């Protein structure tokens, strides 16, 4: 699955480190042509995104292009990010997690009164 990245952020990250596209390609273990294409179009495979994030020591969320996306598009993007990182979240898991945090918050609040 292809992902849409923020090209301005990508270029800013590279420029802030004074890296050439060739150096980024070497550090990320991606071809120079792929780096050039990603910076031009903002479209990259999940594997390329993971490699770039590892090279910059950032998260995928830091370089995702959120402009012009609907909330359902963002949901699909978030869902694909979880899949990319091997997470499988069911609605029951999310509800139980929220319940656990709520209970912990209430207990902490009660103990501090």
Work out the pLDDT band at 31, boundaries 50, 70, 90: very high
Residue range 2-67, CATH number:
1.10.260.40
pLDDT for 71 equals 45
Q: Where are the domains of the chain?
A: 2-67
CB 24 within 8 A of CB 31: no
Residue 103 CB burial class (10 angstroms; 0-12, 13-18, ≥19):
exposed
pLDDT for 76 equals 53
| pTM of structure | 0.60
Q: CB 80: neighbour CB atoms within 10 A?
A: 15
Out of 36-40, 44-48, 79-83, least confident range: 79-83
The encoded tokens of residue 16 equal: 């802030």
Computed over every residue of the chain, the mean pLDDT equals 83
Going by C-beta distance under 8 Å and a sequence separation of 6 or more, which residues neighbour residue 37?
43
Whether 37 shows a pLDDT value over 50: the answer reads yes
């Amino acid at each position: 699955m292809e992902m849409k990245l923020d090209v301005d952020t990508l270029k800013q990250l590279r420029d802030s480190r004074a890296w050439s596209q060739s150096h980024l390609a070497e550090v990320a273990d991606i071809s120079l042509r792929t780096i050039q294409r990603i910076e031009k179009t903002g479209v990259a495979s999940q594997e390329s995104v993971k490699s770039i994030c590892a090279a910059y020591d950032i998260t995928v969320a830091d370089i995702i292009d959120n402009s012009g996306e609907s909330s359902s598009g963002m949901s699909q993007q978030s869902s694909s990010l979880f899949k990319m990182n091997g997470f499988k979240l069911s609605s029951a898991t999310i509800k139980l997690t929220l319940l656990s945090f709520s209970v912990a918050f209430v207990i902490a609040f009660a103990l501090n009164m």
